[in-house]
Amino acid sequence: MDHLKKYISEINDFPKKGIVFKDLNPIYKEPKIWNELMLPLQKLISNKKPDYIAGIEARGFIAASALAFKLGLGFITIRKPNKLPGKVMGINYKLEYGEDRLEIQQNIIEKDSKVILLDDLLATGGTSGAAGNLIKKTGANLIGYAFLVELTELRGRENLDSNLFVESLIKY
Contacts with ligand AMP by CB under 6 A lie at 19-22, 56, 59-60, 119-128, 156
| Catalytic residue numbers, as ranges | 59, 96
In the bound state with ligand AMP, the residue whose beta carbon lies nearer, of 50 and 156, is 156
Least CB distance from residue 45 to ligand AMP, whole Å?
A: 18
DSSP assignment letter at 81: T
SS3 100: strand
Least CB distance from residue 151 to ligand AMP, whole Å?
A: 6
In the bound state with ligand AMP, the residue whose beta carbon lies nearer, of 139 and 167, is 167
DSSP character string of 133-147: HHHHHTT-EEEEEEE
Least CB distance from residue 172 to ligand AMP, whole Å?
A: 9
- Burial category of 65 from C-beta neighbours within 10 Å (exposed 0-12, middle 13-18, buried 19 and up): middle
